[in-house]
Structure 1
Amino acid sequence: MLKQGLSQKLLQKLSPQQIQLMKLIQLPVAMLEERIKQEIEENPALEEANNNNEEIYEADLPDNESPEDEYDEDGVLIDQPEITSIEDFDEYESLLSEDTPDYKLKANNYSADDEEYQAPVVSSETFYENLIHQLGMLRLPDTWRIAGEYIIGNLDDDGYLRRDLESLSDDLLFTKNISISPSELEQVLRKVQQLDPPGIAARDLRECLLLQLLRRPQTPEVKLAIKILENHFDEFAKKHYEKLLDRLGIDEDTLKDVITEISQLNPKPGLQINTALDRDLSIIPDFIITINNDKLELTLNERNAPELNISREYKELLQAYKEGAKTNKSQKEALMFVKQKLDSAKWFIDAIQQRQQTLLITMSAIMNYQKEFFLTGDWTKLRPMILKDIADEVGLDISTISRVASNKYVQTPFGTFLLKELFSEGMTTSDGEEVSTKEIKKIMEQAIADENKSKPYTDDQLCKILNEKGYPLARRTVAKYREQLGIPVARLRKQL
């Protein structure tokens, strides 16, 4: 049985403007530029400000929307009331006024003599393009060439081939209609492994190191290194040096020479090319902190504050449509379209302004909280700080602070740091002082760097050292911090 009922519900919803602001806050400065370009392309009412000294006028849009207004996914008003009389156009008079100051994000304080620096765009050959180019220099049958390109396409970023040849053979049959056996594919793989850098397309670390050694001059040390990797790789990887000395019948100095030879090899040859390309990519800081007379000064990267204004041409369209909209329905629809675009442009500029303010307030709180660190650059001066500490300081939600800190960098006189690195948990020392876990990790790193490499510290010994320095940690916690630092266990750090 169907029934009708009337009920009231109280719902809390985010407006499209709030959603737009949250998305903008999360963007780093480089992605913000792309987002602004996208908005300019999609909304003809929004444009970049001119850099000349001409006076630019902009709209002061009416704030006539009520809380009951509804918006679509693009943040544009829907269910607009129909315009029926000339009085309905009175609200647009401010849009047409030339006395309204321009709606800009910042003033143009630069003269025509100021030099404008533009970073050059660097284009480089990718890791895969480099290998495909080398493969093209070899004389291979067409079938082998296609198979070689397919093998290169299946390499991981570090240069390893981690798929078995049987699977690749099946893929070539179904995707390229090429029938090639795994044994023949092995021959193609050998050709790919001849490419530079040495060790490329290896299927494991042992094969990678052997491929590099086979290209070196065959000195006694290299021949012995090849023998060790072929017959005693497990003992070498686990650093059971006593077993190697006994089984090979060599002295300790000879083994040291072999280890030195192997240590010069590259365990991840693919990164050799990728890293070279990464050097061309620079980090763009979102915040810049400088020290002036022992005082910290914070500024936003200028790319966070682009000059935007509302198109003068679109304001002139309002004037053009005003008279015709009194009697022509199509002119009314055109007028409403223009107003929607102007509203959207205004909201976007408001969101950019609010983003700047939110970023400055939040980063100022972080800078003051970590004042000693920013003045000295000493990581041991870093105070324990979590998102809630800053949220309570500035009166914003924790999620907003997280968005501000996400994927953003701060430039200081001591280097450029990821903002998230400044947040860490804390612990209390034996003296009752609150310290950051990053300080403990720095002390642990220094202790490991100064250890006797022939007898490296175990986790128990590291735990004892930290306890003596006033950091009461359990061995399990020390092991966790060591793993977070990417430091292997004592046995793997051992050297002859």
Structure 2
Amino acid sequence: MQKLNLQQRLLQKLSPQQIQMIKLLELPTMQLEQRIKEELEVNPVLEEGGDQVSDEAEMADKTQEDALSNIDSYINDDDTPNYKLYANNYSKDSTKTAIPFSVGIDFHASLEDQLGLRPITPRQQALGQYLIGSIDDDGYLRRPLENIVDDIAFALNLEVTEEELEEVLQVIQDFEPLGVGARNLQECLLIQLRHKDQEVKAVYNATIILEKYFEEFTKKHYDKIASRLGLEEDELRDAIEEIVSLTPKPGSSYNDPHSAYAEHIIPDFVLELKDDELMLSLNSKNQPELRISREYQAMLQEYVARKLDNTKKDKEAVTFVKQKIDSAKWFIDALKLRQNTLMLTMNAILEFQKAYFMEGDETKLRPMILKDIAEVTNLDISTISRVVNSKYVQTHFGIYPLKHFFSEGMQNDSGEEVSTREIKTILEECVASENKRQPLTDEALMDILKEKGYPIARRTVAKYREQLNIPVARLRKEL
């Protein structure tokens, strides 16, 4: 039995303007420039140029406000539904996209060009094109040939065998860049080595190592390899240098704008040190100042002056102008709010980490989390997170993401609160200066840190080492 219940609930819902404001706050400088250009294209009322602060401009603004107040009563003078007067220039499911900045040689197109130069049958050409389409951006064919046989049967209506595909794949594996079309790293490196002079001893030894002792090589069991192949230390070192010089991702040598986006780092803030004083500013060199078009303001003034007839055509025209002016005013105000929020947040970070910004010494970075800055600025933590995300600051010692200045804290043996980044810096220095023949284990690193006054557990050392992308001791071993 169905029942109808009437419930009253309080729900918190973001308005379209609030959603747009959040998106503006998240945008880094480069994408903000693009967003401003898009707004200038869709809103004819908005134009470039700073506000003219003068008595004439103030009078125009006052006249505009009077016109807008009169327009409200003018528009609402009939029974036109409100939804017909609402304009939204942005899709609710609009998403951020990265901005490609360069156009290089298309990787897959290059392979297809090379395929066209080979003396093969039309059938092999078709199979070759399908295989090339299955190669990923790194240059690997990761899908098994047996599965590709089924794909070709459905897509091209061709019955082929794995042997036939293998024959065509051998042709592709002879293309530039060397190593393309490989099914795994071992095959990729071997393809490159086999195009070198095998009479060179180092090349020959490197080929044997990859063919027979690939697993031992990846685990850096060099002593085992040397004993089994009867190699001297110098011979083993030369062979390993040959392998290391190879390209593990042949496709990465091409810049494919359709598969990846290379991103320029344009700092959002500029921090300068002048006379022992830190000077912070927003990087807005390429962002135009915006204002509302005087022509559209004059149009409204004309309406006030001559009292347009109460016709549907006039109402539609005035409604359009009002909506565009409201949208332009909101966008200009939103940009100012974004600027103020960014500066407020960055100034709080600057004050919190002043000792670090004066010298650029990472050991002077204080423990700092989003909550610390939120409390100083009286902003929500989610707002601070959006400001920090994808934003960069240019300092006198380099360009850094804002996230770089946030880290957790811990106490040293004297009870002083220190940043985990300070500990990571020490770890990096220890690994950089270690004997590569006998790299420092996590336990050894733990002991070093304890001697320096940082009592942390071995598993914590392992966690920090992984965050720094430092391999375990066994994989750092060198001859």
TM bracket (short chain): 0.7 to 0.9
Equivalent position of 2:463 in the other structure: 480
What is the rounded CA distance, in whole Å, between the counterparts of 1:214 and 1:198 in structure 2? 10
Total equivalences in the alignment: 450
1:240 equivalent in alignment to 2:221: yes
Distance change (3 Å), C-alpha of 1:344 and 1:203: same
Q: TM-score, normalised by structure 2?
A: 0.84
Tell me what 2:31 maps to: 31
Q: Deviations over 1:98-147 (max 9, x none)?
A: xxxxxxxxxxxxxxxxxxxxxxx753223333333433443333333333
Match of 2:234 among 239, 253, 256: 253
Equivalence for 2:451: 468
CA offset at residue 239 of structure 1? 1.9
Partner of 2:134: 154
2 CA distance for matches of 1:461 and 1:450?
13
Q: What amino acid sits opposite 1:403 in the alignment?
A: R
Q: 8 Å contact 2:145–2:165 — kept in the other structure?
A: yes
Q: Distance in 1 between matches of 2:230 and 2:417?
A: 55
Query: What does 1:109-258 correspond to in 2, within 5 Å?
Result: 122-218=102-198, 219-258=200-239
Question: In the alignment, what sits opposite 2:283?
Answer: 301
In 2, are the aligned partners of 1:166 and 1:182 still within 8 Å (CA)? Answer: yes
Give unpaired runs (5+ residues) of structure 2. Answer: 79-100
Structure-2 separation of matches of 1:80 and 1:471 = 73
Instruction: Answer whether contact 2:270 2:395 (CA < 8 A) is retained.
Output: yes
Cα offset, 1:312, TM superposition: 2.4
User: Structure 2 counterpart of 1:299, which letter?
Assistant: S
Which shows bigger deviation, 385-394 or 374-383? 374-383
**Are 1:375 and 2:355 matched, yes or no?**
no
Q: d(CA) in 2 for partners of 1:495 and 1:251?
A: 15
Moved more, 458-467 or 15-24: 15-24
Contact 2:107 2:255 in 1 (8 A): yes
Q: Structure 1 residues 204 and 13, CA, compared in 2 at 3 Å: closer, same or farther?
A: closer
Q: Is the 8 A contact 1:29 1:284 kept in 2?
A: yes
Indicate conservation of the 8 Å contact 1:26/1:403, yes or no. yes
Classify 1:16/1:128 alpha carbon distance in 2 versus 1 (closer, same or farther; 3 Å).
same
Change (3 A) 1:175 1:251: same
**Where do residues 8-27 of structure 1 align in structure 2 (5 Å cutoff)?**
9-27=9-27
Contact 1:197–1:269 (Cα < 8 Å) also in 2: yes
Q: Which residue in the other structure is 1:317 paired with?
A: 299
> Against the structure 1 CA distance between its residues 304 and 10, is the aligned structure 2 distance closer, same or farther, given a 3 Å change threshold?
farther
Question: Which residue is equivalent to 1:41?
Answer: 41
Q: Mark the CA change 1:422 to 1:150 in structure 2 (over 3 Å): closer, same or farther.
A: farther
Superposed CA deviations along residues 335-373 of structure 1, whole A, max 9, x for unmatched, are 122111111110111001111111111111112212222
Which one-letter code corresponds to 1:25 in the other structure? L
User: For the Cα contact (< 8 Å) 1:288–1:300, is it kept in 2?
Assistant: yes
Residue in 1 that maps onto 2:249: 268
For residues 134-187 of structure 1, give each alpha carbon's deviation from its aligned partner in whole angstroms, at most 9, with x where no partner exists: 334433333333333333333333222211112222223322334432221112
Pairing 1:429-440 to 2, within 5 Å after superposition: 429-440=412-423
Kept in 2, the 8 Å contact 1:29–1:303? The answer is: no
Is 1:290–1:413's contact at 8 Å kept on the other side of the alignment?
yes
Find the counterpart in structure 1 of residue 94 from structure 2: none
Per-residue displacement from partner, 1:400-433 (whole Å, max 9, x unpaired)? 0001011111111221112112211111111222
* 1:149–1:438 Cα change, 3 Å: farther
What is the TM-score with the length of structure 1 in the denominator? 0.82
Residues 377-405 of structure 1 show CA distances to partners (whole Å, capped at 9, x for unaligned) of: 22222221111111111110000000101
Q: What's the counterpart of residue 82 of structure 1?
A: 76
Which shows bigger deviation, 141-150 or 34-43?
Answer: 141-150
Partner of 2:435: 452
3-state SS, counterpart of residue 128 of structure 1: helix
In the alignment, which residue of structure 1 is the partner of 2:270? 288
Aligned mates of 1:125, 1:79 — CA distance in 2 = 59
Question: Structure 1 residues 297 and 329 mapped into 2: Cα distance closer, same or farther (>3 Å)?
Answer: same
Q: Is the 8 A contact 1:321 1:332 kept in 2?
A: no
Partner SS for 2:474: helix
C-alpha displacement at 1:266, in angstroms? 1.9
Name the amino acid aligned to 2:326. D
The change in CA–CA distance for 1:150 and 1:304 in structure 2 (over 3 A counts) is same
Q: Distance in 2 between matches of 1:224 and 1:205?
A: 18
Distance 1:49 1:165, change over 3 A: same
Q: Which moved more, 1:207-216 or 1:260-269?
A: 260-269
CA–CA distance in structure 2, aligned partners of residues 141 and 56 of structure 1: 78
Please list the CA deviations of residues 416-464 of structure 1 after superposition, one character each: whole Å capped at 9, or x if unmatched: 1121122111111112222211111111111111111111111111111
Q: Check conservation: 1:33, 1:303, Cα contact below 8 A.
A: no
CA distance in 2, matches of 1:178, 1:411: 58
Distance 2:215 2:66 in 1: 74
Q: Distance in 2 between matches of 1:3 and 1:210?
A: 72
Partner Cα distance (2:74, 2:151) in 1: 57
Taking every aligned residue pair, what percent have the same amino acid on both sides? Answer: 53
In structure 2, distance between residues paired with 1:65 and 1:421: 47
Q: Distance in 2 between matches of 1:353 and 1:15?
A: 19
Please tell me the residue identity of whatever aligns with 2:76: E
Q: Sort the Cα spacing of 1:284 and 1:5 in 2 relative to 1 into closer, same or farther, 3 A.
A: same
